[in-house]
Structure 1
């Protein structure tokens, strides 16, 4: 029992200290070792650190670093070429002030689905959103929720083929691909988008008399930039990512002779375990080449942009990898068997429920969608895959629900993306968090719960 208390204490401290701004890269190993000591396994601490924590952390970084690296470079190039701004501006101008919230959501959604990171999306869209809300005399405090709905919800976790890491991580655990459960994903994604838009528009209409407001901080100054790309040039890299990823994953890679992967040299690997990563790496490389080739004369320093993108990939890579190391360490403890049994026994006959609960809780504790997802699947992914086979549940359902669940309780106040978004917009938790909470936590969690309920009748 002391070991379980140690695990819960460790998790509680992880949540509290992460909220206080302590780096997860520091917290993860320290708190993992705290759990080891409290579990009565302190004599093995150094062995657990080097052979379990670091091995798990390293294996995640080795496996997914190319995605983080190329995604960050691609996002930075899209930003510096003006392509991200042109896409957002075109959608916003087309829909106008009458559909301000829809325009912002669609702009964020398209960029996120195409592989641009949520942080880059927020930076690119916020100045345009502020100008649109000011022109329409809508309260500024609803801008963060609108951006969050487009960037942190349905395009991040639901839509089949989305290029975000949350859709790639479950692949290796369930033997699926990035297009897993397309009908479920599209239906849930549409429900999240419409539900979020209903809430935002309802709130805007209720407080429209406030107007945009004065004396806001971090107000953007819109400058008429010269030499921006056309909308079709801006869209082409996004099209390349989406189309290349689909063709590579569904047609090209399956046609290759990959029997060599079964050799010891390659870890006796089945191509299904790496197909999604291979396709995403190649699709992002093609997209990077495309954005540079089409916008060569618009960059002041291509090498500088790529270097900044590469450097920007380090922190998210090692944040998430540290959380994987933490999850692997916790899962190795004897006391974790009690925790594991408790989670599974939430609904022993229905692993869909326990999986969604486990991912949501851990995403909430860590304040990270990818962190909670990786900790849960690192500890329980093999078990859920076996349970899915035992109860004849489609593994694609497990994939999609795990991804969807990661985008729920992660949006608690200590979430790094939430804090960054509010900082970009120059607003506080008090001013805007309630609406972020509704569109990126309450509605996604509700949609996921309803989806689980419907699928449970089909088991």
Structure 2
């Protein structure tokens, strides 16, 4: 009982300190220390019996293990996103979508711009940075409350695209390593769920915005809204080519290279962007350097919370929780979805949640005869739900650093789009797979 209180208390501490603005690289090991102390784990390996878990080993194995497995993928993705941004290709695609839809469809334009870039392999953080300036212009023109911009950015990036079949985002590729599936696993059900999440989420977001407008909320301009606009952009259709390169290469080499195919694909996207748009670059070398720095920060923050999960994983309380979740009556997919969602919530990271949960859960469920493709798609979708609790790295970055909003103003809509909608999508996926669809 005390151990379980430690797990919940550690998560609460992680959320609280993160919302107070402290760095995850400090917060995560502190929260993990609380969990370790409450569960009676020795602090150092020298104080533990041979083969017994301890705080330091558990944390550092989780931290370093994630970097070992995924650094090059993070690096290639971050550089690709930055060169798309620096060349103006990301802006060109986004503005093209806005022009086709019109200014009156401000919210839909922001959502679809994010969706196209995300499904093309651009990093979620880069998508938010790239689309935010246009989102401000659109919301200003439509006179909509700016506190809904973070929800619009996140909805287009982290729901019906990030975890869908075929997505080159890392959340769709981690299960490949542990389940022996492909990025297109369960595509029929995935397509249905993606359409459901898109339709329901957009309706709900529009409803919340309309309600706020009816109460008198309007767009409030800031000095920072006056941003320098590029005078020359590459052709939007030409700018889509690097996105297509990422998708085609990743699928072409999946069978022979597995998850490493995505590194090759993203690198191909960087080369294609340079070849097609090199005259539009402001500073290619600087973009690569910024992408590299961004990759280090992103994977360090994710690894910090994976390290927290590594300590959690070493506790008896976690073993008890996993035993409960894997023995839930009914479809084993429910247990898998719950386990990944909860661990993603504990770590504040969808990729971190999968990296911790799947090595433990995949052999168990595969031995039970669970369909690997159904499990892949279900855990992918569920990983993108509780990872967006207030302490998540993407949440904090998008709401505070990019949009300059407060959690109090922006998170209600943000959480509805990124937590509730994916949870409903997970339920729909479990039902459809349980009915035998897509299997």
When normalised by structure 1's length, the TM-score is 0.85
1:112–1:446: structure 2 CA closer, same or farther, 3 Å change rule? same
Within the candidate set 158, 170, 177, 1:172 is matched to 177
Find the counterpart in structure 2 of residue 362 from structure 1.
343
Partner residue of 1:421 out of 393, 398, 404? 398
Q: Deviations over 1:165-197 (max 9, x none)?
A: 211222222122222111121111111111111
Which deviations, in whole Å up to 9, do the C-alpha atoms of 1:425-456 show, x marking residues without a partner?
34333433322222222222112123223323
1:55-454, aligned counterparts within 5 Å? 55-157=61-163, 159-208=164-213, 213=218, 215-217=220-222, 219-221=224-226, 223-250=228-255, 253=256, 275-345=257-327, 347-377=328-358, 381-390=359-368, 392-423=369-400, 424-454=402-432
- Indicate conservation of the 8 Å contact 1:19/1:415, yes or no: no
Work out whether residues 12 and 365 of structure 1, in 8 Å CA contact, stay in contact via their aligned partners in 2: no
- Greater shift, 81-90 or 197-206, is seen at 197-206
1:238 & 1:98 partners in 2: Cα distance? Answer: 27
Q: Which moved more, 1:368-377 or 1:233-242?
A: 368-377
* 5+ long unaligned stretches in structure 2: 49-53
1:327-383 deviations in Å (ceiling 9; x for gaps): 3333234453323222223x1453211222222223333333223333333xxx433
Q: 1:335 to 1:153 in 2, by over 3 A?
A: closer
d(CA) in 2 for partners of 1:204 and 1:41? 48
Shift of 1:152: 1.8
Q: Kindly indicate whether the alpha-carbon contact (under 8 Å) linking 1:323 and 1:375 is maintained by their aligned counterparts in 2.
A: no
SS in 1 for 2:282: coil
Shift of 1:50: 5.9
Tell me by how many angstroms 1:221 deviates.
2.5
The answer to which of 229-238 and 359-368 deviates more is 359-368
Alpha-carbon distance between aligned partners in 2 of 1:431 and 1:38, rounded to the nearest angstrom: 34
Q: Which has the higher mean CA deviation after the structures are superposed, 435-444 or 229-238?
A: 435-444
CA distance in 2, matches of 1:145, 1:43: 40
CA distance in 1, matches of 2:315, 2:408: 40
Per the normalisation by structure 2, the TM-score is: 0.89
CA distance in 2: counterparts of 1:128 and 1:8, whole angstroms? 39
Structure 2 CA distance for aligned equivalents of residues 9 and 203 of structure 1? 32
Report the aligned-residue RMSD: 2.6
Q: CA deviation at 1:210?
A: 7.0
Which range moved further: 416-425 or 399-408?
416-425
Q: Give the Cα separation in 2 of the matches to 1:11 and 1:361.
A: 11
Q: Following the alignment from structure 2 to structure 1, what is the Cα–Cα distance between the partners of residues 210 and 5?
A: 48
Q: Which moved more, 1:160-169 or 1:66-75?
A: 160-169
Question: Which consecutive residues of structure 1, in runs of 5 or more, have no partner in the other structure?
Answer: 254-274
> d(CA) in 1 for partners of 2:152 and 2:199?
12
Per mean C-alpha deviation after superposition, the further-off stretch among 73-82 and 177-186 is 177-186
- In structure 1, C-alpha distance between the alignment counterparts of 2:11 and 2:289, rounded to whole Å: 35
Deviation per CA, 1:219-244: give whole Å up to 9, x if none: 52255522311112211111110111
Aligned-partner Cα distance in 2 for 1:314–1:203? 36
> CA 1:173/1:201 → structure 2, altered by over 3 Å: closer, same or farther?
same
Residues of 2 paired with 1:210 and 1:231: CA distance?
38
More moved, 65-74 vs 111-120: 111-120
**Structure 1 runs, 4 residues or longer, greater than 6 Å off:** none
